[in-house]
DNA sequence: ACCTGAACACCGTTCAAGT
DNA sequence: ACCTGAACACCGTTCAAGT
């Protein structure tokens, strides 16, 4: 019954779970490879057997949180009205994010977006389309929601991070593959690119989205103003 | 005319300006004390004469950007309608932030907020109050604006960063001093704290703000839906 | 298959010392 | 007053080596 014998073998899942706990309790700046190794009673270099590098670790814990949100989303099926449905989804996401305050900021600074984020947004678009939204208004709505679905913004101010990775070689094959798993999202992108005046700049006109959101809020507030 | 003779003496301003340029061109992760020193043709340790530590450097460049936004704000005086006024202010801020894409994320992760941010928000509140808003609705409006005024959110998901620093010893004297320079902000806080059911938790009920913003957007979109 | 030790390049920072 | 050199603790990471 030595201390050595009590160690379970490491695994990607166990490392990621420990990383999330460490970030939750000590803050994201405390999440270093070496401190994480100490937490797992292992040498720092052992982590590299399960994760390629620290970027992979950060990608992993972001995916973990998104998976939590996705699990919570399943409980919100079965609301018929689009507003109450999205309301419950966003509040569920917020609830998860409150347990991982570092997650929105980390998600916003990541350059690769986990696949689960896309399915999450695909589901939102589906809800809007079913409620009679045009693809264009659904697109605008996504931008207007801003940080509400996942707690981070950033795309409003940095156009290149939103839809700018279309210049990759594999972009078209990605789109073809995405059409099956993300039907609403691909349909929306296709519809919007078709209408776009300058599709080479990506399909998001950030300035226009910004102003749409702005006016939506300003007009809504003007209406509430006594 | 040696290389040594061509060096102007360092100063806090010159260091901060170089830091902003470095962050703009190479990204915020490239902004290290040592690389910044190289850029200024100086040893890394020289920077510590002008700035206490790296935190002070980051605070400094955030303040620099906010000052840029504040300068742009002066051009938007003289719009009478509250909506066009705020519209121009937020668009001017966005314009500045687009030149410093790292700024919103950095601002959101800082724990000390530059004074200029408070005056910026005080001005917004003043605009709303002059337009007939109650302090309560103005407060809600600020939360609803979210990332639009400065490009970052974060307070929506992390309640403690918004108005939680009231437990400091100097909080009351701060408030007294703030009453002169930030009349609208202090009046709003006073009014809201008075109405608050549990003022010990801070004066922001994040859950309520979140739901207000959510419903404002959902109702606005419902109205636009054909 | 899974883990480790030694080593390297890079950080922020202190402190005594130079001009 | 302003800058530097040497040194320290800490970081991510490689690579050859252990079991």
Nucleotide nearest to B49 (CA to C1'): D2
* Model pLDDT, residue A1: 36
Spatial CB neighbours of B158, under 8 Å, sequence gap ≥ 6? A98, A101
What is the spatial distance between Cα A136 and Cα A130, in angstroms, rounded to a whole number? 14
Whether any strand C atom is under 7 angstroms from the Cβ of B44: the reply reads yes
CA angle (B162 as vertex; B87, A32 as ends), nearest 5: 110
Chain D nucleotides near the protein (CB, 7 A):
2-6, 10-16
Q: Are B72 and B93 in contact (CB under 8 A)?
A: yes
User: In 3D, which of A189, A148, A56 has the Cα closest to residue B221?
Assistant: A148
User: In 3D, which of A120, A125, A124, A127 has the Cα closest to residue A97?
Assistant: A120
B153–A157 CB contact, under 8 Å: no
Write out residues in chain B with pLDDT < 70, as ranges. Answer: 1-7, 153-175, 197-202
What is the spatial distance between Cα A96 and Cα B129, in angstroms, rounded to a whole number? 35
User: In 3D, which of A146, A125, A139, A133 has the Cα closest to residue A195?
Assistant: A139
What is the spatial distance between Cα A190 and Cα A184, in angstroms, rounded to a whole number? 10
* Model pLDDT, residue B200: 57
* Model pLDDT, residue A159: 39
What is the spatial distance between Cα B53 and Cα B56, in angstroms, rounded to a whole number? 5
* Model pLDDT, residue A154: 54
* Model pLDDT, residue A212: 97
Q: What is the DSSP string of A189-207?
A: HHHHHHH-S-GGG-S--HH
> How many Cα atoms occupy the beta-carbon half-sphere of A127 within 13 Å?
26
* Model pLDDT, residue A84: 97
User: In 3D, which of A68, A76, A148 has the Cα closest to residue B157?
Assistant: A148
Restricting to A residues 86-115, those with a Cβ less than 8 Å away from any Cβ of B are: 86-87, 90-91, 94, 97-98, 101, 104-105, 108-109
Chunk chain A into consecutive blocks of 10 residues (it has 226) and report each block's average pLDDT, rounded to whole numbers. 53 98 97 98 98 98 96 84 96 95 92 92 97 97 95 53 44 73 94 73 82 98 93
In chain A, the residue whose alpha carbon lies closest to the alpha carbon of B150 is: A157
Whether any strand C atom is under 7 angstroms from the Cβ of A32: the reply reads no
**What phi and psi, each to the nearest 5 degrees, are found at residue B75?**
-75, -15
The gap between A6 CA and C1 C1' (Å) is 19
Restricting to A residues 165-204, those with a Cβ less than 8 Å away from any Cβ of B are: none
- pLDDT tens column, B118-137: 999 999 999 999 999 999 99
Q: Are A95 and A146 in contact (CB under 8 A)?
A: no
Question: What is the distance between the terminal CA atoms of chain B, rounded to a whole angstrom?
Answer: 73
Q: How many residues does chain A have?
A: 226
* Model pLDDT, residue B53: 98
């Amino acid at each position: 019954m030595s201390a050595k014998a009590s160690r379970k073998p490491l695994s990607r899942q166990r490392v990621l779970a420990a990383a999330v706990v460490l970030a939750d309790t000590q803050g994201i700046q405390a999440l270093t490879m070496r401190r994480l190794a100490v937490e797992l009673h292992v040498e720092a270099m052992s982590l590299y057997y399960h994760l390629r590098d620290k970027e992979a670790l950060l990608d992993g814990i972001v995916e973990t949180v998104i998976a939590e949100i996705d699990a919570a989303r399943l409980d919100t099926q079965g609301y018929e009205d689009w507003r109450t449905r999205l309301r419950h989804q966003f509040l569920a996401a917020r609830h998860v994010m409150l347990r991982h305050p570092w997650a929105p900021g980390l998600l916003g600074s990541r350059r690769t977006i986990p696949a689960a984020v896309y399915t999450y947004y695909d589901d939102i678009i589906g809800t809007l389309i079913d409620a009679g939204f045009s693809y264009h208004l659904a697109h605008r709505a996504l931008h207007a929601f801003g940080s509400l679905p996942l707690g981070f913004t950033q795309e409003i101010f940095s156009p290149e991070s939103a839809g700018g990775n279309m210049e990759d070689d594999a972009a078209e094959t990605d789109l073809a593959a995405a059409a099956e798993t993300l039907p609403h999202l691909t349909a929306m992108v296709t519809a919007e690119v078709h209408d776009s005046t300058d599709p080479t700049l990506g399909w998001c006109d950030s300035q226009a989205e910004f102003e749409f959101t702005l006016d939506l809020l300003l007009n809504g507030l003007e209406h509430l103003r006594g």
